Amino acid sequence: MTKTIQPAASHHVGGAPLEDTAGAEMPVIHPADGRVIATLHAATPAVIDRALESARAAQADWAARSGTERGRVLRRAADIMRDRNRALSEIETLDTGKPLQETLVADATSGADALEYFGGLAASLAGQHIPLGGGDWAYTVREPLGVCAGIGAWNYPTQIACWKAAPALACGNAMVFKPSEETPLSALEVAAILTEAGAPPGLFNVVQGAGEVGHALATDPRVAKVSLTGSVPTGRKVYAAAAEGLKHVTMELGGKSPLIVFDDAEIEDAVGGAILGNFYSTGQICSNGTRVFLHRAIRDRFLERLCARLEGVRTGDPLDESVNYGPMISARQLEIVQGYIAKGLEEGARLVTGGRRLQREGFWLEPTVFADVADDMTIAREEIFGPVMSVLDFDDEEEVVARANATAYGLSAGVFTRDMTRAHRVIGRLEAGTCYVNSYNDAPVEMPFGGVKASGVGRENGTAAIEHYSQLKSVYVRMGRVEAPY
Ligand code: NAD
C-alpha cells in the first residue's frame, strides 16, 4: 500500500501554506507503482500575483539586513534539513521514485550543503576599492537583483530548490520558485523550513503548475532574474521570454556528455564512473556521461566488468534501503526512453544488456547498454534522460577529442586515464562546463556547476553563483575640483 502525503496546501506564499482550488488539479504520482499519493492545484493568476507581491514586500527589508544575519537564517535552515533528512528523503523518494538509498545521501543533504555554504558566504559579500589617478577613487557595491524566479526540473527537486534559493537569498534577493509539475512536494518542505529558520514571510515562495505558470513568472515585470533547470527546448523558450524583459538568466539545461576511457585507465574505477554517470537516479541526470568512448584495446574487458557489476542492480520498493535502482519518473518519460531504445536497435546498435520494461506496476525500465554505437545514430546525438548508455570505440586521442566535441551540448565531460598529463591536456580541449578526471558526476557545492554551448548560461554553486544573483554598482569619487570645458 503506497503511503500518501497530503501537504497543508498546494503553495507556500507569504510565509504560510496557501490553497486555491480554482487551479487545475495536479495529481502527484508515485513512479514505483503509478498510484496517486497527493492531489494539488496549479497556481491561478491570483496566487502568482500574491507570491510576487509578497516576495517584493519581503525583499527590501531582507536586503537591508547584514550578511551575517541573512547567513544565520540560511545556516539554521541547513541544520533543520539535516535533522529531518530521513523524513525529507522519504518524501523525495515517494515523489520521484528514486531509491531511499540515494535520496538519504544526495537530496536534502545536498540542499543543506548549499544553504550552509551560501549562508557562510553571505557575510563576506562585498565590493571593491579601486584607487584612481589624482587621488580619486572608485568603489563597487554588490547589490541584489530583486525578486528572482526559480523553475525546477523533476530529477532533483530539493537540491534544485536549494541550489537556486541559497545563493539568491544570501545575496539579498527574494524568490518565487516553481517546482516541476511532476515533483511538487519537496519544495514546499524547503519553504516551510526556511520560514521556520527565520526567513521573513514572502522571502521564499513556492507556486505549483506546469509551463504556463513558469511562463507567467518569466514574463512578469516584477521578476528581475529567471533561473531555470530544464531541457534545452524549454531553455530556449524561457531565455527568449526573459530576454523580452532584459532579465538576468541562469540556464541549467540538458546534455549528451562524453566519458572517455583510455587504455591505461583503472578499469574498475572507469566502470564505476560509467555506472554513476548512466544509471544513478535511473539515468535521469543532466550531466550524465551517456556517450562512453572506450579505447578499442579495453572495450571488451570494460563491457564484461560492466555487465558483471550490473548484476548488482536491485529493484523493488524504493523505500526499502537495500533497493538501489528506481523507476522512471513518469509513463511519458518511460515511453520516450523506450522510443530511443527502439531507435538504437533500428539503427544497428548492438544491445549488450537491458532494453526491456519490467513487467510490474509503475514505470520501470532495465538499465540498458548499447555497444557498436556510431556517432551519427540518434542515441549518440540526442539527450535520452533515462538509463541508456551508448558505447563508442576509439583509437587515438586526437580522434576522440574531435568526436566528443561534435555535439551542440556542452554540459559535462569525463576522462579516465592514469596519465595525468594526458588527462589535463584532453580536459583542456573538451567543450564542457563541468569536467571530471578519474571520476564522474560529483557535484559538491564548492565547485561551480553549469554548461557551455546549448547546455546553458551561467553557473550554480561555488562563489561563481554569487555573480549570477547580484549586480555591481560602481561609484566614482572625485577628491579634487571638477574641470569642465565651459
Ligand atoms: P522541462 O524542460 O520539461 O521542464 C523544466 C521546468 O520548466 C518545469 O518546471 C516545467 O514546468 C517548466 N516549463 C516548461 N515549459 C515552460 C515555459 N514555456 N516557460 C517556463 N517554464 C516552463 O524539463 P524536465 O523534463 O522537468 O527535466 C529534464 C531536463 O532537465 C533534461 O533535459 C535535463 O538534462 C535537464 N536538467 C538539467 C540540469 C542542469 O543542472 N543542467 C539538472 C537537471 C535536469
In tens, the pLDDT along 40-69 reads 999 999 999 999 999 999 999 999 999 999
Residues 320, 334 share a domain: yes
| Whether residue 266 is found in the same domain as residue 412 | yes
Q: Which atom of ligand 1 is nearest to the CA of 385?
A: 31
Query: Which residues make up each annotated binding site for K(+)?
Result: 29, 95, 246, 453, 456
Nearest ligand 1 atom to the CA of 383 is: 32
What is the DSSP pairing of strand 258-261 with strand 291-295?
parallel
Which amino acid, one-letter code, is at 413? A
For residues 227-245, average pLDDT = 98
Query: Could you tell me if the CB of 214 is within 6 A of ligand 1?
Result: yes
Which domain, by its residues, includes 420? 258-437
Torsion, Cα 167 171 173 178, to 10 degrees, reads 0
pLDDT value of position 280: 98
- Residue 471's alpha-carbon distances to 235, 426, 452, in angstroms, are 23, 35, 22
Q: How do residues 65-112 score in pLDDT, each as one tens digit?
A: 999 999 999 999 999 999 999 999 999 999 999 999 999 999 999 999
Same domain (yes/no): 237, 206: yes
Would you say residue 481 lies in a domain?
A: no
437 lines ligand 1 (CB under 6 A): no
Confidence of residue 3 (pLDDT cuts 50, 70, 90): confident
Q: Is the CB of 254 under 6 A from ligand 1?
A: yes
Is 90 exceeded by the pLDDT of residue 17?
Answer: yes
**Which helix (H) or strand (E) element contains residue 466?**
helix 464-467
The verdict on 142 and 233 lying in the same domain is yes
* pLDDT for 4: 83
Q: Give me Rg for the CA atoms of the chain.
A: 24
Ligand 1 contact, 286 CB (< 6 A): yes
Helix ranges (H only) for 292-395 are: 299-310, 331-346, 378-381
Q: Mark whether 311 and 242 lie in a shared domain.
A: no
15 & 161 share domain: yes
52 three-state secondary structure: helix
Number of structural domains (the chain) is: 2
CA of 374 to the centre of ligand 1 (A): 28
Task: Please write the tens of the pLDDT for every residue from 289-321.
Answer: 999 999 999 999 999 999 999 999 999 999 999
Q: Which residue has a Cα nearest atom 39 of ligand 1? A: 252
For residue 1, the model assigns a pLDDT of 58
Do 180 and 207 fall within a single domain? yes
Instruction: Report the 10 Å Cβ neighbour count for 477.
Output: 12
**What separation in Å is there between the alpha carbon of 175 and the centre of ligand 1?**
18
Domain boundary, last residue among 410, 437, 464: 437
Residue 229 has pLDDT above 80, yes or no: yes
Q: For residue 457, how far is its CA from the centre of ligand 1 (angstroms)?
A: 14
Place of cell 579495453: 298
Query: 223 forms bridges with which residues in the sheet?
Result: 147
Whether 186 contacts 7, CB under 8 Å: no
In a domain, 186, yes or no: yes
Closest CA to 258 of 383, 85, 139: 383
pLDDT of 265 reads 98
User: What value, to the nearest 5°, has the Cα angle with vertex 469 and ends 186 and 445?
Assistant: 55
Residue 388: closest CA among 359, 353, 362: 353
Give the CA distances from residue 197 to residues 4, 91, 252, in Å, rounded to whole numbers and listed in that order. 26, 20, 28
- Cα of 153 from ligand 1 centre, angstroms: 4
What pLDDT, on the 0 to 100 scale, is given for residue 193?
98
**132 in the same domain as 181:** yes
155 Cβ closer than 6 Å to some ligand 1 atom = yes
User: Do 303 and 399 have their domain in common?
Assistant: yes
Distance 468 CA to ligand 1 centre (A): 19
Counting ligand 1 atoms within 8 A of each CB, the residue from 223, 234, 257, 280 with the most, and so the one to mutate, is: 234
Flag whether 446 is in a domain. Answer: no
Counts of helices then strands in the chain (DSSP H, E): 16, 20
- Ligand 1, closest atom to CA 333? 25
Domain identity same for 200 and 305: no
- Ligand 1 site-directed mutation target among 180, 282, 457, most atoms within 8 Å of CB: 180
| DSSP category for residue 15 | T
Q: Percentage of the chain with pLDDT > 70? A: 100
Q: Is 41 helix (H, G, I), strand (E, B) or coil?
A: strand
Q: Is the pLDDT of residue 10 over 70?
A: yes
- Is the residue at 241 inside a domain? yes
pLDDT of residue 5: 87
3-state secondary structure of 143: strand
Domain assignment present for residue 233? The answer is yes
268 Cα to the center of ligand 1, angstroms: 33
* Residue 152, ligand 1, Cβ within 6 A: yes
Q: How far apart are CA 289 and CA 274, in angstroms?
A: 7
> pLDDT for 24-34, tens place per residue?
999 999 999 99
Whether the CB of 210 sits within 6 Å of ligand 1:
yes
Together in a domain, 403 and 269: yes
Q: Does residue 323 contact residue 99 with C-beta atoms inside 8 Å?
A: yes
Q: How far apart are CA 134 and CA 206, in angstroms?
A: 52
Q: What torsion, rounded to 10 degrees, do the Cα atoms 389, 395, 399, 403 define?
A: -10
Which of 110, 186, 231 has most ligand 1 atoms within 8 Å of its beta carbon, as the pocket-test mutant? Answer: 231
The response to whether residue 343 sits with its C-beta less than 6 Å from ligand 1 reads: no
Residue 450 in any domain: the answer is no
- What's the CATH number where 408 sits? 3.40.309.10
User: What pTM, to 2 d.p., does this model score?
Assistant: 0.98
177 lines ligand 1 (CB under 6 A): no
Do 250 and 314 have their domain in common?
no
Query: Which are the catalytic amino acids?
Result: 164, 252, 286, 460
- Annotated binding residues for NAD(+), written as ranges, equal 152-154, 178-181, 254, 286, 383
Average per-residue pLDDT for the chain: 98
Residue 338 lies in a domain: yes
Beta bridge partners of 205: 176
Task: With CA atoms as reference, report the closest residue to 32 among 312, 279, 325.
Answer: 325
Interval 380-436: pLDDT, tens: 999 999 999 999 999 999 999 999 999 999 999 999 999 999 999 999 999 999 999
Is pLDDT at 6 greater than 90 in this prediction? no
Distance (Å) from CA 229 to ligand 1 centroid: 5
The secondary structure of 144-177 as a DSSP string is E-SEEEEE--SSSHHHHHHHHHHHHHHTT-EEEE
Burial 170-195 (b: 16+ CB within 10 A, else e): bbbbbbbbbbbbbbbbbbbbbbbbbb
Q: What is the pLDDT of residue 345?
A: 98
